[in-house]
């Protein structure tokens, strides 16, 4: 196999009084759906902040397409096609869909003025990539949670995106909306985009991921192909406790 899209190599991260990550290594290939699982406080969000350049690792490094990065900025992450969709989707409710889509990409382009005609075209293309249709002039405050998430995904796709990281994306979704999100994830996969899906829900890991990494107290306790995982093993890796038969 080639160098892969992304590798985290022996990533450590300490905060004052807390060792949040203790040597985390994982790798991701293009078009791969990889689930990062772990209970609350296991280090999932810290790891994605390192991958997206928000935090620098205390020790360890990233490799993107075979190139090694010690320190890594959010701008470099975006330039390397890495996009994160946070739990709150980082959308601006008092702006329209179009304005939300325009904001991010114009900032990244460092253009001074928004070329609305050009933006509208780019926005329409990015919505089409996930077969999502919405009134570009609607205010985001009027949309459902799932629609806001679609806006965040469309916005992520306005860049030359290679990897989309979704931090616990299903928290506020209905079962039907989760299904729709999973369909979109599969569509992104078809386009060669890798997905790092952060979740602590067993059924979601089994349903959508091909590969998994489970963190516990900042360390990788298990990783591999999801087809080799079962619910007993999953709950043991997550908690460190044997599953008790009732």
CB 191 → ligand ADP: shortest distance, Å? 28
Task: Establish how many alpha carbons lie within 13 A of residue 123's alpha carbon, considering only the half-sphere containing its beta carbon.
Answer: 26
Q: Is 30 in the site for ligand ADP (CB under 6 A)?
A: no
CB 15 → ligand ADP: shortest distance, Å? 3
CB 216 → ligand ADP: shortest distance, Å? 10
- Of 10, 15, 160, 227, the residue at the interface with ligand ADP (CB under 6 A) is 15
Q: Is 169 in the site for ligand ADP (CB under 6 A)?
A: no
149 vs 213, which CB is nearer to ligand ADP? 213
| Distance of alpha carbon 224 from the chain centroid | 19
CB 215 → ligand ADP: shortest distance, Å? 7
DSSP 154-186: HHHTTS--SEEEEESTTTT--HHHHHHHHHHHH
Q: Is 83 in the site for ligand ADP (CB under 6 A)?
A: no
45 vs 213, which CB is nearer to ligand ADP? 45
Q: Is 43 in the site for ligand ADP (CB under 6 A)?
A: yes
Radius of gyration of the chain (CA): 18
Q: Is 216 in the site for ligand ADP (CB under 6 A)?
A: no
CB 47 → ligand ADP: shortest distance, Å? 7
Q: Is 18 in the site for ligand ADP (CB under 6 A)?
A: yes
Give contact residues for Mg ion (rule: CB under 5 A). 44-45
Residue 244 neighbours by CB under 8 Å, 6+ apart = none
Q: Is 20 in the site for ligand ADP (CB under 6 A)?
A: yes
Residue 81 backbone dihedrals phi, psi, to 5 degrees: 85, 20
Enter the tokens of residue 113: 């003025």
Enter the tokens of residue 148: 């806001």
Q: Is 46 in the site for ligand ADP (CB under 6 A)?
A: yes
Measuring CA to CA, which residue among 17, 47, 36, 16 is closest to residue 218?
47
Q: Is 44 in the site for ligand ADP (CB under 6 A)?
A: yes
Helices (H), the chain: 44-51, 74-79, 97-109, 116-129, 145-156, 175-190, 202-208, 231-239
- Interface with ligand ADP (CB under 6 A): 15, 18, 20, 38, 40-46
């Amino acid at each position: 196999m080639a160098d892969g899209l992304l590798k985290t190599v022996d990533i450590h991260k300490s905060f004052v009084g807390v060792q949040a990550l203790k040597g985390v290594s994982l790798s991701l290939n293009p078009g791969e759906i990889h689930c990062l699982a772990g209970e609350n406080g296991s280090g999932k969000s810290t790891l994605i902040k390192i991958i997206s350049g928000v935090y620098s690792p205390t020790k360890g490094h990233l490799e993107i397409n075979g190139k090694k990065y010690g320190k890594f900025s959010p701008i470099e992450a975006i330039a390397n096609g890495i996009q994160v969709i946070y739990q709150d989707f980082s959308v601006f409710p008092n702006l329209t869909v179009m304005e939300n889509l325009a904001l991010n990409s114009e900032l990244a382009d460092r253009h001074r003025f928004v070329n609305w005609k050009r933006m509208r075209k780019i926005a329409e293309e990015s919505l089409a990539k996930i077969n999502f249709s919405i009134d570009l002039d609607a205010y985001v405050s009027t949309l459902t949670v799932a629609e806001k998430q679609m806006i965040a995904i469309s916005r992520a796709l306005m860049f030359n995106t290679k990897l989309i990281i979704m931090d616990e994306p299903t928290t506020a979704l209905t079962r039907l909306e989760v299904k729709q999100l999973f369909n979109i994830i599969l569509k992104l996969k078809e386009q060669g985009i890798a997905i790092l899906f952060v979740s602590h829900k067993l059924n979601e890991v089994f349903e959508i991921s091909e590969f998994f990494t489970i963190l516990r107290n900042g360390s990788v306790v298990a990783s591999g192909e999801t087809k080799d995982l079962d619910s007993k093993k999953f709950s043991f890796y997550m908690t460190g406790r044997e599953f008790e038969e009732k």
